[in-house]
Structure 1
Amino acid sequence: MCIQRAQRASLALTLNYVALVLAISAVITSYWCEGTRKVVKPFCIGPENVKQTYCIRFNSSNVDDNKLVQYIFETGEEKFLVRKFHVGIWFSCEESVDLTGVLWLCIVAECLYIALLFTGGALMVLELCPCFNVMNRLKLNAFAALCTALSGLFGMIAHMMFITAFQLAVLLGPEDWKPKTWVYSWSYLLAWGSFATCMGSAVTALNRYTKTITEFKFRWRTIEKRLRIKKKIRELDLPEDLWYITSLSEQGDQHTALYLNGSVPSWINPSILDNWGREYC
């Protein structure tokens, strides 16, 4: 049992730090979405006898010439270039459609996600420290599960806010910026992979907490039941030879046997009840 709990603790901590690494990698990179978009060709500045297809050639040296404007207007699609682009939380073009507020909320949510994820991992490390007693470990485990679950919530909100802002920019953005084609890229996959491992860590930590509490309650009910039996036997004034009730068949659970005459055999450690909580790992 102790080994299983230690394995669950190690699993929760490992998932937490994997989620933290993936989240930081997703935030600092700018490949959440990538694709192609049209951009206006720049004016050609090279020699006129050299044919250049990536820029607009004009005959007049006066930039404000009406002939120049008419020429650019009549070229249609030829005045655009198709270029690749990639965007992320810190490098994005959604500002062109007045979505800076949404982007800043997304950044704040991502920062809270990483901060709470780190806090949950730190609490899990403290929980493994042998200097804490069982109740303090349970409290640390509960707070670690809570912080990790909250971080997953903030992470999901941040990811969805960014994608919503980007899709609105695609629909409402200026024609000279709108992507022609776009797909989710590897930073986006890292972000949702981080969310999945974060929730796995939270579920594992919460499972350890609830299972330990359930075991403690079961053992406490066993003690209360045996004490009630002891009280009734004393009320019946039975012979002392009948005061011995039972002992559990399994050697590993012998410490739960009660001896109603109040005496503890020499082969039982008197402090065994105080050490029950120490079985929590």
Structure 2
Amino acid sequence: MKIRMRASAAFFLNFLSLVFSITAFSSNYWCEGTRKVAKPFCIGQAKGDNCIRFNSPDANNSNAVQYIWETGDDKFVDRKFHAGIWYSCEEIINGEGEKCRSFISLTPASDRGVLWLSIVAELLYNILLLTGVVLMSVEMCYYSTVIDGLKINAFSAVVIVLAGLLGMVAHMMYTTVFQMTVNLGPEDWRPHTWDYGWSYCLAWASFACCMAAAVTTINKYTKTILEFKHKRKMLERSLKIKYKFPDHTAPEKACSVYVNSFHNTTEDCVHPVKDLHHLGTISSRWSLLLGGSQN
């Protein structure tokens, strides 16, 4: 039961990591902030604080002297923006909606290679997380023997650890590229203030869940191996005692108890141990299954 609970916990953490990663990768809210831009001139009857008004009573007369009273920061307005791996979008002044540009086109040419590496690493991160989910599903739903389950478990742990390393590198590379774009990017894009958004936090939450899933999977593998070796030693000790005090049904019963804890079957223990040669054969068999050596 405990093994099944650990397997379920690892599967849930890995699946949660995959959902977080896909959501963050497809969104454009890794970084959010504001840009300080000059106010446009008010057109027609437009009024408000987001455009510059004239004080002339005859705005349509080109010969009239027109005055603009806005000075300093009053001549500028803060325009909100948000950026992700794919696009950078900013709000439209005196209008509805947003204007988006490709973030790759905004990145300095010297840093575009790093950005592409970040994108490739993010894709591999998601693929490995999906592979881990599939392997854990197979382990939980179907495996013929305990040894097969342990092999799948070990492979899942390797895949998840590799995914976590790729995810960490991808997130750090994107952070570096964004900071370089803020300093060296186009003048008409550079933000006045900015901070990391919810997508960025979600990406690192995905990494945390991935590492937690890896630790849980490795813990499950280690505990299963230790329990397997402990029960093998207990079985060998029981068989040796019964051999000194013969009871032809006792070895079969001991083996049944041992095997039932993993397989729920006794088909491998239908013949009792009759002599020392048979005892050595059974001990060697369990040693081979564990990949260990006979103590």
Q: Please report the TM-score for the alignment, with normalisation by the length of structure 1.
A: 0.70
2:87 aligned with 1:91, yes or no? yes
Alignment coverage as a number of residue pairs: 230
Amino acid at match of 2:112: T
Deviations 1:167-197 (A, max 9, x none): 1111222333221100111111111111111
Structure 1 residue ranges without an equivalent (≥5): 58-74, 231-244, 246-257
Q: 1:271 to 1:163 in 2, by over 3 A?
A: same
2:200 aligned with 1:202, yes or no? no
Partner residue of 2:178 out of 144, 151, 166? 166
Amino acid at match of 1:188: Y
2:14 aligned with 1:16, yes or no? yes
Cα distance in 1 between the residues matched to 2:83 and 2:151: 41
The match for 1:125 is 137
Cα distance in 1 between the residues matched to 2:198 and 2:238: 60
The match for 2:224 is 212
| Aligned-residue offset at 1:263 | 2.3
Q: 1:270 to 1:142 in 2, by over 3 A?
A: closer
Q: 1:118 to 1:203 in 2, by over 3 A?
A: same
What is the 5 A alignment of 1:60-99? 81-92=77-88, 93=103, 95-96=105-106, 97-98=108-109, 99=111
Q: 1:104 to 1:40 in 2, by over 3 A?
A: farther
Deviations 1:64-94 (A, max 9, x none): xxxxxxxxxxx99888653111001111436
The match for 2:156 is 144
Contact 1:8 1:205 in 2 (8 A): yes
The match for 2:279 is none
Cα distance in 2 between the residues matched to 1:147 and 1:173: 37
Structure 2 residue ranges without an equivalent (≥5): 55-70, 89-102, 265-295
141-150 or 165-174: bigger deviation? 165-174
Cα distance in 1 between the residues matched to 2:210 and 2:46: 57
Cα distance in 2 between the residues matched to 1:50 and 1:188: 38
Partner residue of 1:115 out of 127, 131, 148? 127
The match for 1:263 is 248
- Aligned residues with identical type, % of pairs: 49
Cα distance in 2 between the residues matched to 1:171 and 1:90: 19
The match for 1:153 is 165
Partner residue of 1:35 out of 24, 33, 36? 33
Q: Secondary structure at the match of 1:278?
A: coil
Contact 2:3 2:224 in 1 (8 A): no
